[in-house]
Structure 1
């Protein structure tokens, strides 16, 4: 069975918003390396539309820094599944799932292949409740946002989810990455 890993940038006060941090070359290289063992990305519509076509354009045009270009090339090369009821356009690398994302992820998890990377906040409680996420990569940025979206809205989980910290990495820009495994 394939492993599913979730990764997200968050503020010190627990808000996830890709505009709050200032990713360094070192942090971009960390995220690129995280995808070395991934052959499928699983997105919600909002995160997918935030990531694409932006990173595809960077990969094509080589318009970012060296680290951003490496990240863009790696990200754009991986097949994607997007859970959405409203998105209508697919491309050669993207397939849209219209209903029951947890059921679809379970099917994908049971197929052979490398790891599946999840990048969605909207479905996170549902996927965690279903026991589908095996690893969590949280990069905490040294900012207090004070607003935005939390990883888990209050009351979205009814049971405690035990995790085991397996690795911590501190970056020169003050970010700290934590890697947890589900127990």
Structure 2
């Protein structure tokens, strides 16, 4: 069975986006640029190791508006070029009933995401990442997520889009990795205990 991971940058108070979908707290404007370089490389390596990424519409639109051609922009760094190529080459599935076309090695699913994710998990293929809060929430409630990766930034935003959704029952987890990045950013990785 394929492993499904939900991983995102998150604020210390548990949000993946501040109100208005503001992601400024996770960007490259901090005092320690090396933290951003090291963390960006970690995310890029994660994309390279992911067999399939499952996107909700909102995050798909944000990613697909930038990364498909980011390697062709003037001044693109080697890391940005590598990430763009990895992202473009990685198979992706977008779950949406409001768009009718996707590009960049992507397949569109307009039906029940839980049924399709359940089916994908039975395939004999590599690991999958679920990307986007709404899609991840559906997978969480259905008990489909095998691993949670939180990259916690030392900032409080007070409100926004939460990493975790409300659940009907407890989910027990085991800590399997921690890593500290410069600037006080902490990665924690948990596996679901079944």
TM-score calculated relative to the size of structure 1 = 0.92
Superposed displacement of residue 130, structure 1: 1.5
Q: Check if 1:55 corresponds to 2:67.
A: yes
1:134-164 per-residue CA deviation (whole Å, 9 max, x = no partner) reads 11111001111122111234xx211111111
Mapping for residues 43-122 of structure 1, pairs under 5 Å: 43-61=55-73, 63-91=75-103, 93-122=105-134
The answer for the alignment partner of 2:20 in structure 1 is none
The answer for the alignment partner of 1:167 in structure 2 is 177
- CA distance in 2 between counterparts of 1:163 and 1:151 reads 15
1:82-108 per-residue CA deviation (whole Å, 9 max, x = no partner) reads 000011222251111112101101111
Unaligned 5+ segments in structure 1 are none
Superposed displacement of residue 171, structure 1: 0.6
Superposed displacement of residue 43, structure 1: 0.4
RMSD: 1.6
The answer for the alignment partner of 1:136 in structure 2 is 148
Which of 22, 26, 32 is the aligned partner of 1:21? 26
Which of 135, 140, 149 is the aligned partner of 1:123? 135
Distance 1:130 1:146, change over 3 A: same
- CA distance in 2 between counterparts of 1:67 and 1:177 reads 20
Which of 131, 138, 145 is the aligned partner of 2:157? 145
CA contact (8 A) 1:59 1:76 kept: no
More helix by share: 2
Q: How many residues align?
A: 181
- CA distance in 1 between counterparts of 2:170 and 2:39 reads 30
